[in-house]
Amino acid sequence: MNEIERAAESLRTGGVVAFPTETVYGLGADARNEDAVRRVFAIKGRPTEHPLIVHLAWAAQSGEWAAEIPETARRLMQRFWPGPLTLVLPARIDVPRAVTGGQDSVALRVPNHPMALALLRAFGGGLAAPSANRFGAVSPTEAQHVRAALGDSVDHVLDGGPCSYGLESTIVSLLDGCPQVLRPGALPLADLRDALDEDGIKLADLTASAPRVPGALAAHYAPATPLEVHSIETLATRAEVLLAQGLRVAVLRRNRDLHGTPTLPLVPQFLLPAEPEAYARGLYARLHELDHLAFDRLLVEAPPVDEAWWAVNDRLARSARGSWSKGGLRGSN
Ligand code: TXA
Ligand code: MG
């Protein structure tokens, strides 16, 4: 038996398997097995009313989970699956409510990663899989992040190397008339809008109130190191203030020419690419790495306020709030 077959066999008997996807690593269990799903919640420390995404090998399996698949959903599946788009649809009555957090809707996605697809095909059914991190913490983009956070509580960790997007999927609800973005993510909004435009369909107003989604909790995706987001102009002053308090400060900024901005004091600087996709790919890995270095404070240069940066800005804002709501205590989540 190879590794994938062993993992699939474990899933069939109620096991929990961490596996790579193109977005982040997932923590999968048989979505039809309520005990296995409950184990996923327990391992993550996640409140049980927060629904999980059901991962499928093929779009054709959607009908086993969704009570109804509107034409718009079919088109989006055709266009973007396999890929980093999650669709929220009305759930069939037989979908375990442990998976949907008690809601009458279900989130579906066909991931675009060879190992995830091999596992899904070998298993044959739907895998309920949240990101493979402790609840509220930064998502894993490498197998070692999963091992460090969840260790022996997981039956298998499949290692597929670093994730190619590094940021969670974009979630779109098709429960009401207009498709509505519930979570910005790896699929750029512009691509989604273009695809919908071709069919004369509009996205719901992005500021419209979204259904209850835990990813929408203000504090989420938080590193252990207290994190602040500042413009490059105010970063230097802020660093000086913190240094004067005797704190160990690090700066995380975009790799570009800082000509014309105030000179930063002598603190360790870490760089991420200047472009949004590459920045997103490296962000979580950097945050994991910086947590190991145990700085007292991480000052992050605010990316541009621009739609292409929406998902990154969203995660940074939540990380900042999350790191503070934990009182800046390392490993407290
Ligand atoms: O990229 C991703 O989406 C990754 C990989 C592993 O696929 N998964 C992921 O799962 O990010 P998780 O559990 O960390 O986030 C799933 C999000 C949550 O915010 C959850 O509330 C939302 O999906 N969700 C799931 N079912 C839903 C539903 N029925 N209605 C609204 N939101 C739902
Ligand atoms: Mg998550």
Domain that includes residue 238, residue range: 227-325
In terms of domains, do 114 and 8 share one?
Answer: yes
Task: For residue 37, give the ligand nearest its CA.
Answer: 1
Residue 221 marked as a ligand binder:
yes
- Total domains present in the chain: 2
Q: If you measure from the C-alpha of residue 137 to the centroid of ligand 1, how many angstroms do you get, rounded to a whole number?
A: 14
Please state, in angstroms and rounded to a whole number, the distance separating the CA atoms of residues 185 and 311: 5
Residue 7 marked as a ligand binder:
no
Query: Which residues in the chain come in under a pLDDT of 50?
Result: 209-212, 327-333
pLDDT tens by residue, 52-93: 999 999 999 999 999 999 999 999 999 999 999 999 999 999
- The strands making up 227-230's β-sheet, listed across from edge to edge, are 227-230, 297-301, 249-254, 269-272
Domain boundary among the residues 170, 203, 236 is at 203
Which pLDDT score, from 0 to 100, does residue 216 have? 56
List the residue whose alpha carbon is closest to atom 6 of ligand 1: 26
> What is the Cα 97 distance to its own chain's centre?
22
In terms of domains, do 140 and 258 share one?
Answer: no
User: Is 220 within a domain?
Assistant: no
pTM, to two decimals? 0.94
Q: If you measure from the C-alpha of residue 128 to the centroid of ligand 1, how many angstroms do you get, rounded to a whole number?
A: 10
Please tell me if the CB atom of residue 133 comes closer than 6 angstroms to any atom of ligand 1. no
Which pLDDT score, from 0 to 100, does residue 213 have? 55
Please tell me if the CB atom of residue 217 comes closer than 6 angstroms to any atom of ligand 1. no
Please tell me if the CB atom of residue 180 comes closer than 6 angstroms to any atom of ligand 1. no
In terms of domains, do 133 and 233 share one?
Answer: no
- Of ligand 1's listed atoms, the one at least distance from the Cα of 183 is 19
Please state, in angstroms and rounded to a whole number, the distance separating the CA atoms of residues 53 and 34: 14
Q: Measure the CA dihedral 15/20/21/27, to 10°.
A: 30
- The strands making up 127-128's β-sheet, listed across from edge to edge, are 156-157, 17-19, 26-30, 127-128, 53-55, 105-109, 85-90, 170-173, 180-183
Ramachandran bin of 183, using left for φ above 0, alpha for ψ from -120 to 50, beta for the remaining angles = beta
Please state, in angstroms and rounded to a whole number, the distance separating the CA atoms of residues 58 and 121: 9
Q: If you measure from the C-alpha of residue 52 to the centroid of ligand 1, how many angstroms do you get, rounded to a whole number?
A: 5
Residue 292 marked as a ligand binder:
no
Residue 248 marked as a ligand binder:
no
In terms of domains, do 39 and 158 share one?
Answer: yes
CB 201 within 8 A of CB 73: no
Q: If you measure from the C-alpha of residue 133 to the centroid of ligand 2, how many angstroms do you get, rounded to a whole number?
A: 7
Which pLDDT score, from 0 to 100, does residue 244 have? 94
In terms of domains, do 108 and 141 share one?
Answer: yes
In terms of domains, do 147 and 45 share one?
Answer: yes
Phi and psi angles of residue 323, each rounded to the nearest 5 degrees, phi first: -65, -30
Which pLDDT score, from 0 to 100, does residue 324 have? 72
User: Is 265 within a domain?
Assistant: yes
In terms of domains, do 186 and 246 share one?
Answer: no
Residue 131 marked as a ligand binder:
yes
Which pLDDT score, from 0 to 100, does residue 328 have? 43
Q: If you measure from the C-alpha of residue 220 to the centroid of ligand 2, how many angstroms do you get, rounded to a whole number?
A: 8
Please tell me if the CB atom of residue 22 comes closer than 6 angstroms to any atom of ligand 1. no
